[in-house]
Structure formats: structure tokens, C-alpha cells
Amino acid sequence: MASFYKESQPQPVEWESEMHCAVYLHDVGQWQRGQISRIVSKTSAEVLLYDSGAEETVEVSCLRKLEESMKTTKALAIECSLTEIRPTGGSTQWTATVCECLSYYLTGAQVKIIIQENAKGCALPVKILCKDETGKITDTSEYLIEQGLALRNRRTGGACLVSKEHLEVHFKQENAQLEGCNSEIAGARNRTVPEENTTVSESGQKSLKTQELLPHSGMDEVYKSPIVPEAKIFQAVVSCVGGDGTIYIIPKLFETALNKLMAEIQNTFKGLGLLIPYCWKKGEACVVRGSDTLWYRAKIVEVSGSTLQVQYIDRGYIESIPQCHLYPTTFYTGIPPFCIPCQLYKTLPVYICLDSSTKHSATERAANCDSEGLSKALKWCNKIVKTLPHLTNFKKELPCLAEYVDGLWYRAKLLSVTQLVPVQILVQFVDYGTYLVAPTSRLRHIPCHLLKYPVQAVRVLLAGFRPASNDKNVERIPYSPEWSLKALWTMVDCVEGKRLSASILVRNEVTISLYGDDKNLVHLKLIEMGLAELDQ
């Protein structure tokens, strides 16, 4: 095109929509093929550059008739659409914010395209994987959902796009590769459960009884049972303490065999690309690429959205992992797990929790005494907080002390791990209801005497109003799309930092009506603005 149109001059053509043309782009100094989308004015037109997919508004002096020979080559750009997501707020159109976000992150980026199905006559349904600012591979659809810019489509069925057998073609290998690992634990493996008709010796019966008493580890559905050393006393390393109190240990005599197996796994799964879409199932065997970039044996514990909860079967601990870091495989399942689940003998845990009772039978005076006592206890804890140990267990709902942005420490409970490197924990301050994402350095063990005070903040349901059916605001609350963001911020302005009064309508569900200083219901402002409507 460059040589053909280099010396060409503007032509007296009456340009119309849908006409094919050659377009000169001054910014890049290049001729490209295009098709006129619409005529903007007598001197300009909007053109779709169908070899790049971009739309440009250009002067008609930059347009030339496209030679017939140049029309035979198909368009080089492919129109694609992201699957499994839809616009927020019930709209069928994407907002300018979403389009700008996609343009910012994807324009000029090198991405990996995963075709979901071969659609003809419409945009190609795809997943787009690209690196974010930290270099982490991210699914663009999941990123938009996490940012509240899109909602997940409701699944209506459909088959998995790829079978497990197809995926395992990647990992074929000879059984001889594992002989080094197998030989080291061959003697111990003889102690696994025998066939039904096999005669069991007295020592074997003791071994089986020992295994039956082991805490249920959740590994026995796919992998073999772990091997317990014959010696009653042996050295071991504690690899993990589970959320249910199960203690996972790795006997020292198994360390060499475990290291050999780990080296074998790294060699087998070295250089694998991203996994194409796969339907995961609970209990399924897999290998996982951990945060240290090493591959580990694992099994699926829970399937939820873009992340999967997996258990590292040779370590015991459970972690949430993006799907792109997992591969389904039944290789290595013949080797028993190297960590053994244990429980302390004749010891029962005491499972500690904050009193979240919302009973209103106690007198107001008693509640005031609780509040004063809690305030004094917290002041004392703030003085000696440096002597309190840091948290080492991050079980959901675990009570703790957390440092707020004002530098003071308050009662809180753990909600979830939001980031692994560095570790960031989402906590809720139980006496205020507020949330904070904090590093582990800002979390401490809570003294037992602080647990006797009831929580000061109570979650309630406001009665008397509902979302407006004619709210035209496009921006919606991601986790509650029936409400607009404007309604949310209006309500925040009505209540934040103000002294309000409430009347309880339903005690069991703690449903209330909320009044301002003017004795009017706070939600009346939303109704006046058309953001809500009365609900009897």
C-alpha cells in the first residue's frame, strides 16, 4: 500500500458509509485499509481500520479508493468479546469507564487469547490473560469483576471445554521416573491397607489400628493414606496446624524421599504454559504452582469462582490459588503423602469467640458498665501491646487485637486473607463495625479477659424503604446491584458521624427504623431524590 498510494492525490469522490477505502494516518505515517463508519462532515469521516480494529476520524483528503486487489485479503484484526461477564446495573451496554479501563490495560499489551468457542458471524468469545503491573498473569474478565466494573454471567449449563484426558497428554512419562522415590519408601509402603483376603500379622494389625485413629485429613479420597513410622518415638517437623486444630508433621526419615519427589515434579512440569479452560471438581488431584514458583502435589478442597482452595498434601496447609496456577493430573498419586495429620492425645480444644449476643433483656445500666469496663481494659492493653505475641494462626472469625489508622489497638476478628506476598488480612473491628486490611505486624493475640465483654456494634436491617424501580443511575453497587452507588453515598452522608435514634421493629432479626436529629426518618432523603421508594 505504501508504494501504490505514495504519490496519489485526493480524489473527487462522494464518500458514503460502508465504502471501502485506503486511509493515510499522519500519526504513524502509514497507509491502512479501512471502511467508512459514518460521514462526520463534508471534510471528515469516521473510519474503521479493519486490520487493527481501531476507529479514527480523518480528513477526507486522507482517503483514497481501495484497489480491488487489496480487497481480497481478509481483515487481519479479529473482533473478540470477553465471556462470562456482563455490565453492572442491569444495563446491556458497557460504560465508558469500563472501556477506558480495558483500553488502558490492553492497548499495545502482549496477551494470551483462549478461544472459548468457534462462533461465526459475531465477535469471537475469548478469555484474555495478560500481566498486571506486578508481572502477575491476570484474567481480564476476573479483574473487571474484582474492580466492580462487571458482573459474572449466570451459568445456564454447558459442557467443559476440555477433558482431563486431553490435559494429561502434557504430562506423559514413564513409571521408571519415580523409581528413585519409590525405592526409599518401599518398605514403609508395605504397611498400607492390604487386600480384603490378605492375612494380617499382629504388627500389621497394630499399624492399621494406628492409621484408623488418625484425624481425617481429607486426602484419602484420591491419594493413599500417609505412612506412620514403626518407631513409637521419632523426630519430625511440624509443617502446618490446620484450622480445625489438626497438626501436620513430616517425619525426618522421609525428608530425603520428599526432596527427591519434589525435584522430579519440578523437572516434569518445567516450562508449562497456561492451562486452557477446565472444569475443576472437589477432591480432584492436581499439581499447584505455589507463591515460591515451585510445583507441589495437591488436591482440590473447594471450588469458588476464579480461585480454588487446594490442600498441599505433603505439607497439609490449605491455600486459595488462581486457576491458572493449577494442572489436573493423577501422576504421583500412588506415592503416599509425606505429612501425617495428628491430634494431641486426650486433649480437647477450648474453639474462643467474642460474645455476639444481641439480646435486649439486660438493662441499659449493665450495658453502660460493660462499655466502661471494655474501655478501661482496652486502654490497659494499648499500654502493654508490645508484650503481646503476634498472630500465627489466621483462621476465619478468630478474635484478635488490631491496630487502627489512629495508632490505637481495638478488638477485631479475622475475615479473610486478601494477599499472600506480603500477607494482608481483612479484619472487622467488632465494637465499631468498620473494616481494615492490615499486615500481620498490626495484629496481636487478644488477652482472654477482653473476650467477656459483648460486642458493641450490632448489624441491623433498616426498614421502610427499598430500591427505586426507576433509578436511572448506571453505576451500581457490585455486591448489591439493585442499589445505585449514588444511593449508597447519599445514605452515608445521612448517617456518618451523626447521633441518631432508632426504634426496634423486629427483635429477632434486629430490624429498626432510624431517625435523625429532626425526628424524621433518615431514608426520606433517598425517596425525595428518587433513589428509593417506600416499602410497607
The pLDDT of residue 257: 93
8 A C-beta contact, residue 396 and residue 416: yes
> How much is the average pLDDT of 335-361?
68
- The percentage of the chain sitting over the pLDDT mark of 70, rounded to a whole number, equals 78
pLDDT of 161 strictly over 50: no
What's 436-476 look like in SS3?
Answer: EEEEHHHEECCCHHHHHCCCCCCCCEECCEEECCCCCCCCE
pLDDT of 504 strictly over 60: yes
The pLDDT of residue 214: 39
> How much is the average pLDDT of 258-281?
77
Label residues 97-110 b or e (16+ Cβ within 10 Å = b): ebeebbeebeeeee
Q: Average the pLDDT over each of 8-12, 325-329, 359-363, 528-532 and give the range with the smallest value.
A: 359-363
Q: For the purposes of burial, counting CB atoms within 10 Å of the CB of 442, is it exposed (0-12), middle (13-18) or buried (19 or more)?
A: buried
pLDDT of 403 strictly over 90: yes
- State which of 250-254, 270-274, 327-331 shows the largest mean pLDDT: 250-254
| Cα–Cα separations (whole angstroms), residue 383 to 380, 397, 449, 452 | 5, 25, 16, 20
The pLDDT of residue 216: 39
pLDDT digits (tens, 9 = 90+) for 34-58: 989 888 888 888 998 888 888 888 8
- As a whole number of angstroms, the distance between CA 229 and CA 393 comes to 28
pLDDT digits (tens, 9 = 90+) for 118-157: 666 667 888 888 887 667 788 888 888 877 778 877 544 4
Label residues 145-167 b or e (16+ Cβ within 10 Å = b): beeebbbeeeeeeeeeeeebeee
> Cis before residue 226, ω within 30 degrees of 0?
no
Q: C-alpha grid cell for residue 61?
A: 483528503
- As a whole number of angstroms, the distance between CA 237 and CA 259 comes to 14
The kind and range of the H/E element at 3 are: helix 2-5
Q: C-alpha grid cell for residue 505?
A: 421493629
Q: If pLDDT is split at 50, 70 and 90, which confidence band does 203 have?
A: very low
8 A C-beta contact, residue 64 and residue 8: yes
Distance separating the N- and C-terminal Cα atoms of the chain = 70
pLDDT of 450 strictly over 50: yes
8 A C-beta contact, residue 401 and residue 384: no
> How much is the average pLDDT of 168-191?
41
- State which of 195-199, 307-311, 319-323 shows the largest mean pLDDT: 307-311
Return the higher-pLDDT residue of 99 and 36.
Answer: 36
- As a whole number of angstroms, the distance between CA 199 and CA 205 comes to 10
> How much is the average pLDDT of 18-24?
89
- As a whole number of angstroms, the distance between CA 401 and CA 412 comes to 6
Q: For the purposes of burial, counting CB atoms within 10 Å of the CB of 383, is it exposed (0-12), middle (13-18) or buried (19 or more)?
A: exposed
454 Cβ contact partners less than 8 Å away, ≥ 6 residues apart: 355, 356, 357, 367, 370
Residue 170: DSSP 8-state: G
Order of all β-strands in the sheet with 340-342 = 236-241, 247-251, 340-342
Output helix, strand, coil percentages for the chain, rounded to the nearest 5: 25, 30, 45
pTM above 0.75, yes or no: no
- As a whole number of angstroms, the distance between CA 289 and CA 272 comes to 11
**What phi and psi, each to the nearest 5 degrees, are found at residue 120?**
-110, 140
DSSP assignments along 13-54, one per residue: ----TT-EEEEEETTTTEEEEEEEEEE-SSSEEEEEETTTTE
- As a whole number of angstroms, the distance between CA 324 and CA 276 comes to 8
Q: If pLDDT is split at 50, 70 and 90, which confidence band does 179 have?
A: very low
The pLDDT of residue 503: 80
Residue 88: DSSP 8-state: G
| Cα–Cα separations (whole angstroms), residue 304 to 68, 311, 395 | 53, 15, 18
pLDDT of 358 strictly over 80: no
pLDDT of 59 strictly over 80: yes
The pLDDT of residue 470: 85
pLDDT of 174 strictly over 70: no
The pLDDT of residue 428: 92
Q: If pLDDT is split at 50, 70 and 90, which confidence band does 508 have?
A: low
**What phi and psi, each to the nearest 5 degrees, are found at residue 12?**
-80, 75
pLDDT of 446 strictly over 70: yes
Q: How far is CA 114 from the centre of its chain?
A: 20
Q: How far is CA 453 from the centre of its chain?
A: 34
- State which of 108-122, 363-377, 513-527 shows the largest mean pLDDT: 513-527
For CA atoms 532, 485, 86, 75, the dihedral sign is positive
